[in-house]
Structure 1
């Protein structure tokens, strides 16, 4: 019984780790920015104060939710907003992801011309 529980636990841990390390897909309606500061109830993106949504989520580079007190300052982000403009979801970007998102934005601008 103990062995089977340990095996199941090991498999679930491995599965969760694989999901966290998988390539992340960002929503197409997002925006690129720099998160200057974040605390519960207030945030600043690109040196502009923004209102956070009531259910705001900040995802770290491992795709896990980051508590407000652990969100770094002046970090590159991809973020989405609600219909009323409140910031809803934020993804902290790795340097590679930043380059990918910049390429996506450039491609979108070129296709619109």
Structure 2
């Protein structure tokens, strides 16, 4: 007599792998660490402007070539596709003063002081 799982193509030896996969789907988000920011990061608010410009703290600033912007979910956004007003951000500047990295903050991150979010091992 064949087992029900054999008929579905799921053999008994694959069940532990399936269990591990399902457990990982639920446990990995809970293990996600806070985003570490470099010690040179600054805090401000960001609004959109025509690319390659960006408005930080009400002042129009230049985005560096290859600038990266991470949204609240820590996914990279294309600078030209962002349409926001007054979003709290952490950002860094390159040697020429252009904005090279921007992290849009979650409400929880925005409530934390910047110095608690920085990691001295980053640049």
Matched pairs, number: 98
The TM-score with structure 2 as length reference comes to 0.64
- Asked if 1 retains the 8 angstrom alpha-carbon contact of 2:48 and 2:82, the reply is no
C-alpha spacing 1:63/1:39, structure 2 compared with 1 (3 Å): farther
Q: CA deviation at 1:94?
A: 1.2
Which residue number in structure 2 is paired with residue 60 of structure 1? 71
Which sections of structure 1, spanning at least 5 residues, go unmatched? Answer: 106-113
| Alpha-carbon RMSD | 3.1
Instruction: List runs of 5+ in structure 2 lacking aligned partners.
Output: 1-8, 117-123
Please, what TM-score do these two structures have when normalized by structure 1?
Answer: 0.69
Higher helix share: 1
34, 53, 60: which is aligned to 1:23?
34
Q: 1:18 to 1:95 in 2, by over 3 A?
A: same
Note if contact 1:38-1:73 (Cα within 8 Å) is conserved in structure 2.
no
- Work out whether 1:44 is the aligned partner of 2:55: yes
